[in-house]
Amino acid sequence: MSSRAVEYQDGEQQSSPLDNRVQLVEQQMASTYKALDWIMSSLEDNKLAAEKPRPQLCDAEKFLEKELRRKRKKELRNAQLRHFFTDNFKLHVTCRNSKYCDTGIQRTQLNDDEVLWAIKVPFYNPPKYTHPKILTNTKPYADTVDLLEVSVEEIQKFQFNAYDENFKCDRRSLCGHDYEVKNGVPLNPRGRTGLIGRGDLGRWGPNYTIDCVVSRWKKDEDGHVDEEDGRPLLEFIAIRRSDSSKQWAIPGDFLREGFASPQINMYDSLIKVFADEALGYSMKSVEEKKVIEELLHRLATKGQVLFEGYADDRRNTDNAWTESRLINFHDDDGSIVDNLKIMAGDKSVDMAAWIIPKSSIPFWGNHREFLSLIAEKYKAFF
C-alpha cells in the first residue's frame, strides 16, 4: 500500500463534534439569511426601508448546495477507499498501462498510487476514445450521446446512480456504493484507467454482464472423481475467444435486448447468454432447441449467484466500465450437463470445450478470479 494512500486513509474520520458544530452553524446561517431577507422585504413593502440601496446578502442556499455537493463527493470517495482497504487494496490492472483493446491508442501511464480519484494527480490529461460504431448504434443498449461534447441540457437528461427513466435503462452500480458523477459525467468506481470516453462500451457508467459457469466433477472411467494434489477436479464449459487474445473464458455477454435491468432470472441467463456462445443454440433446429430448453430449465434450478460487482475488463475507461454477475450452475452428478452437446455458436467464439480451471491458464479478463471463487466454494483444485 502506498504512503499516499495510507496518508489519505489516516485522514478519513467519522463525523467529529467539530463537524457537527459546523453543520449546525450552516443551518443557522441559512435560517438567519431567510429571516433577514424576510425583514428587508417587509420594510420595503411597507415603504419603511432606507433610501440607500438594499445590501446584498450572501446566497446561503447556493452556498449550502455547494457544500452538500462537496460532502457528497467526499462520501463517495471515502466509500471507494473503504472498498479498497477492506479488499486488500486491490486495484484494477487489466484496464491500465496498455494500448486500448485492438487500437493503437496508448493509455496514460498510472502508478498504483495514482489510480484512486481521492488522490490528486496533477496534469492528468488522458486521451479520449469512443468507437465510432457506438455513437451510431441505434440499439437500445447503447447511448448515442457523447457526454464529453454535448450541451448541459443534453447531459441533464441522464440519470446516473438510478433507473434512468429517460433512456429506460438501469444505471445503478452493483459495487455496493454509488459512483461519482463529475460535470455530469460518471467516474469509474475503481479509479483512473488512463483513458476517457466509452471505448467499446455501449453505456456511460456501468455496463452489465452475466457470466455463466456450468460445472461438474471430472470423473474417471469408473465414475470416481479425479483429484490433483489431494483435491477434487472440477470441469466447466469454457469458450475460446476468436479475437486477438485467443484466451479461454467463461461464457457470458452484456445484457442487451430484453434486459432493462441487471435483475434477471436463472433460465434467462442460460438461454440468452450461455446457450448461444457454448451450445450453438441459434443454429439449432426447432426439435434440438426444445431438448436444450428442457435441459436448461432443469439446470436453472441449480443456479447460484457467487459474485456481483466491478469487473477488471480491458474495455473499461474512466467513464464506462463493466460490472458482472457471476452465476454458477453446478450439476453435482452430471445427469443434466452430460447430455449437453457443446459447440461454438457465436462469431466471437471459435471453440467450446470442457476444461479444468487451473490458475496456470491465462483466462480472459478477471475470469481467473471468478473461477478461483468457484473452486474455493467446492474446495476443488485450482
Q: CA separation (Å) from 19 to 26, 178, 373?
A: 11, 23, 41
pLDDT tens digits, 160-206: 999 999 988 899 998 888 899 999 999 999 999 999 999 999 999 99
Give the residue from 204, 146, 176, 193 showing the smallest Cα distance to 316: 193
Residue 196 forms part of a structural domain: yes
**Residue pair 291/323 in contact by the 8 Å Cβ criterion:** no
Residue 365 has pLDDT above 50, yes or no: yes
The residue among 206, 236, 257 that closes a domain is: 206
Confidence of residue 35 (pLDDT cuts 50, 70, 90): confident
Residue 382 forms part of a structural domain: no
Residue 271 forms part of a structural domain: yes
Across 101-128, average pLDDT: 92
Do 149 and 235 belong to one domain?
no
Do 196 and 218 belong to one domain?
no
Give the residue from 74, 1, 62 showing the smallest Cα distance to 30: 62
The confidence score (pLDDT) of residue 21 equals: 66
Do 265 and 136 belong to one domain?
no
Do 198 and 214 belong to one domain?
no
Burial class (CB in 10 A: 0-12, 13-18, 19+), 223: exposed
Do 222 and 336 belong to one domain?
yes
- The residue written with cell numbers 452428478 in the block is 333
Do 134 and 27 belong to one domain?
yes
Do 192 and 228 belong to one domain?
no
Do 164 and 292 belong to one domain?
no
pLDDT tens digits, 287-340: 999 999 999 999 999 999 999 999 999 999 999 999 999 999 999 999 999 999
What pTM did the predictor assign? Answer: 0.76
What CATH number did the domain enclosing 293 receive?
3.90.79.10
Residue 25 has pLDDT above 80, yes or no: no
Do 345 and 247 belong to one domain?
yes
Do 57 and 162 belong to one domain?
yes
| H and E: helices and strands count for the chain | 9, 15
- Cell for 341? 452437446
Identity at 264, one-letter amino acid code:
I
- Cell for 192? 483512473
DSSP strand E in the chain: where? 128-130, 163-164, 169-170, 181-182, 185-186, 196-199, 205-217, 227-228, 231-232, 234-241, 248-249, 252-254, 303-311, 320-330, 349-355
Residues 6+ apart with CB under 8 A from 209: 252, 253, 254, 255, 311, 322, 323, 324, 325
pLDDT tens digits, 54-71: 666 566 666 667 777 777
Residue 353's domain spans which residues?
Answer: 209-377
Which tops the pLDDT comparison, 86 or 315? 315
